[in-house]
Structure 1
Amino acid sequence: MRKVRTFGPVRTSKLLARKRPHLVPIYDEHIRTQFGAPHSGDQWSAWAGMFADPTLVQHLAALRRSAGVDGSVSLLRVLDVVVWMEGKHGSSVPESARTAHAEL
C-alpha cells in the first residue's frame, strides 16, 4: 500500500489501525517523537515492550473503564491515544519505555 504515492506512513497506519485496532497503532509525528522512532517500523519494539508490563496493561484497562469506553476499544488504542496526547502537549515517553525492547 505504501507504494501508492498518496499513502505515506501516517495515512497507511491510520487505515491499518482502523481495520485492525487490536493489532496496529497509529504512527504520526507525535508517536515518532515520543518513541524516537524515525521510521514507522522502528516503533514496534517499544509497543511490544510496554505490553509486556502487566501493571501497565492493568492501568490501561482502568483508564478505559474510567473513560466510560467499552472493550471494543483496544488497549493498544488507549495507549496510542495516551502517547499521542503526551506528545502533542510536549511531554515524552520515559527512556525506559522507549528502550523496553532491549529487555525482551
Structure 2
Amino acid sequence: MSDEHSLGEVPADWPIPGQATLTAARDAALDALKDTELAGRRLGRYYDPTGNFAGATYRTVLPNDPGQITAADLFAVTLLSVRLRPAAARRLLDDERHRDAVQRRLAAVPEDADLAEADAATLVDASALYEDVKRALASPRTAKSDPWVTASKLCARKRPSLLPVRDRKVRELLGIPPRSDHRHDWLIHRGLMRDSMTLGLLRDAKTNATTQDGIRADVRDPSLRVLDVVLWTHAISLDAS
C-alpha cells in the first residue's frame, strides 16, 4: 500500500511522511496501547475530576464557541502546561486584525471535521487556521518566536476531532523529528486514526478507564484527543522509569 493511499486524500503540496516514518509511529502507538488495562488506568487518572490533570476540562470549560477564540479558550490551554503571555492574549482577543483573521479561518473549517476522513480542502483550511493562530501568538519583537505548541493546543480545543494536540513528548515518542512541518505531523496522526488496530486498542483502553479509587472514568473526548492522552501519559511514564 502506498503512503498516499494509506493516508487518504492529501493536499498536493503537503510533505507526506515516508512508510518507515508511519510504521515507526504506529509501532510506538501500539506499544503505548498494548496493555489496555494499564492504558485505561492512565486514562482514568488523567480524567479523574478530583485529580490535577487537565482531563475533560480542557475541552469542556465554557464558553467554547466554535466560531471564535475567547478568554475561556486561553484559560483552557493553560491547563495543558503552556504559558500565554499577556501581549499574545491581547492580540488574539483585542487586536482586530488578528481576531478577525482567526474568526474567518474558524468559519472555513467545519466544526465536525474528522482527521481520519477530512478532505484536502478541509486540511488546507485547517492549516491556514493554525498558521494565523500561531502568527497572533508569536512575538513581533522576537525574530525566532515560534509558539507552535500553544498554537497546536489552542487549535485542538476548537477542532478536537480534526487537529491533534502536538507537544514535544508525543512527537518524540512517535519519532517525529524536531521542527518538522505541522502538516507532516498531522498526517502521521491521520495514519494512526485510520489504523484499525490502533483504534481497537484505544476503544478497549477507554473501556478500562478507571481512577485510582476504582471508579469508572467518564472519557467523552473525541478519539484523537484520547489517543494523545494515552501517548502523553505513556511518554511521561517512560521518562519516570
TM over 0.5: yes
Aligned Cα RMSD in Å?
Answer: 2.1
Cα deviation, residue 9, structure 1 = 0.8
In structure 2, the partner of 1:56 is: 198
Match of 1:69 in 2: 218
Gaps of 5+ in 2: 1-132, 140-145, 210-216
Residue type at the aligned position of 2:208? S
The 5 Å alignment of 1:24-43 reads 24-37=163-176, 38=178, 39=180, 41=182, 42-43=184-185
1:47-99 CA distance string (max 9 Å, x none): 122122212212212222322334x31111111011111222237xxxxxxxx
Length, aligned pairs only: 90
Q: After TM superposition, what 4+ stretches of structure 1 lie above 4 angstroms from structure 2? A: none
| TM-score, structure 2 normalization | 0.34
Structure 1 Cα separation of the partners of residues 199 and 167 of structure 2: 23
Instruction: Indicate the percent of aligned positions where both proteins have the same amino acid.
Output: 31
1:14 to 137, 150, 153: 153
Pairing 1:2–2:134 present: yes
The amino acid across from 1:65 in the alignment is: T
Closer/same/farther in 2, CA of residues 25 and 40 from structure 1, 3 Å limit: farther
**Change beyond 3 A, Cα 1:16–1:85:** same
The Cα shift of 1:28 comes to 1.0
Moved more, 39-48 or 54-63: 39-48
What is the TM-score when the length of structure 1 is the normalising length? 0.71
In the alignment, the residues of structure 2 paired with residue 40 and residue 15 of structure 1 have an alpha-carbon distance, to the nearest angstrom, of: 17
1:40–1:74 Cα change, 3 Å: farther
Give the Cα separation in 1 of the matches to 2:181 and 2:232. 14
Contact residue 27 and residue 40 of structure 1 kept, 8 A: no
Task: Report the alpha carbon displacement of residue 40 of structure 1 after superposing the two structures with TM.
Answer: 5.3
Matched position secondary structure for 1:79 = helix
Whole-Å separation in 2 of the counterparts to 1:88 and 1:25 = 18
Deviation at 1:45, TM superposition (A): 2.4
Equivalent residue for 1:44, pick from 156, 181, 186: 186
| Larger Rg belongs to | 2
Q: Secondary structure at the match of 1:73?
A: coil
CA deviation vs aligned residue, 1:25-49 (integer Å, no higher than 9, x gap)? 1111102211232235132222122
